[in-house]
Structure 1
Amino acid sequence: MNEGLLKILDAQDWDDVIIKLTAYVVQYCKWKKYYLPKGLEAEDIALSAIEKIYTGERSWDMEKEPDLQNHLQSVTNSIIINEIRSGAAGEKRIEIIPEDYHAVSNSVEEELYCKQLDREIATSMRGDPMVCLVYKALKDGLPPREIAEEYSVDILQIRLAQKRLRRLAERVIDQLSKVNYHE
């Protein structure tokens, strides 16, 4: 790797890049309905993509693709596809609804409503990677302080993303109640 490229990479705000890239992986897998190999998280894919850029395993041609984030997204796509093709993908799926949700569901109607609510929230939060990460982490049972520690983000940013998520969820619930009421 040449020195100029190394300096550009070293100057990146990697905390921000990792958050955005991890959120991208979550959304990409959800959209494509891809399964990650057991034990592999979206953040692992993001970090692997960054490592491949640094080691030169995946080169970044700044003239063809001046936006590093776009290039890293392309690398994560390749990593995910390669994992699926290798047959390693399987049991663990990136989903917003946890697999054990059925244990707390009281009725089929309630379960369907919750899944619809989850899909609508996931669709509505596109474009806000911090809200995507907070949503996934909260669904995984992490409290805000642990989310901040896990992703090396200031707790204030996590709290603000939580507020945006709450407002977004309230809007979605309101919209769904109007649709269901009028049906």
Structure 2
Amino acid sequence: MTEEVPDPEVIKRLNAQDWEDLYEDLVAYATIRVQELSWERGPGAPPEGREPEDFAEEAIKSLYTGRRTWNYEQYPNVKSVLSGIIDSLVSNLVESAEHRRSTDVEPSDLETFYEDISSEKPDGEVRAEDIEERMRQAVADDPELEFVFEAMLEGHDPESIEELIEAEDRQQVYQLRRKVRRRIRKAPSVPEK
């Protein structure tokens, strides 16, 4: 396995951020995401003793280390990118063995998205990178679906996706989102390398 190498331009752009305000926003976002779900350990208590700060810090670290990439030309808003990474991290934890024992989960749109493609894993341990790779492969042949998928992953709601793709109406966005989900459900269970 090759070691990830961060893009020097990404590091430069990250270093230029106002981290005090951005970090607070990311922790607030992670707090909301964690509170949207019911966890076996109680409201707002995700498995493994994770806190909202942990999700924010892991998202930031993943960009700095190159473990996650940032296409800053296509997605210049680093807050949206980091929010999408937080969504991914929370969704990954939703699939943990501890959480799967929970009976009162109320998944949001993105969690059901992840559940559809990772339910075949018998141990419930799913790496976010594996999930994302599988999802990317499912839509890679269609640039419009790929763009909608990326927007969904970054946490964009249908209204903002409608603006991003300059859709004729919201119904077009809903149709594209459904098509993305269908593709992902039919994707092979193991990402091709």
Task: Tell me which interval the TM-score lies in, with the shorter structure as reference length.
Answer: 0.3 to 0.5
More helix by share: 1
Task: Compare CA radii of gyration and give the structure with the larger one.
Answer: 1
Q: TM-score, normalised by structure 1?
A: 0.45
Q: TM-score, normalised by structure 2?
A: 0.43
Structure with more relative contact order (C-alpha pairs < 8 Å, separation 6 or more): 1
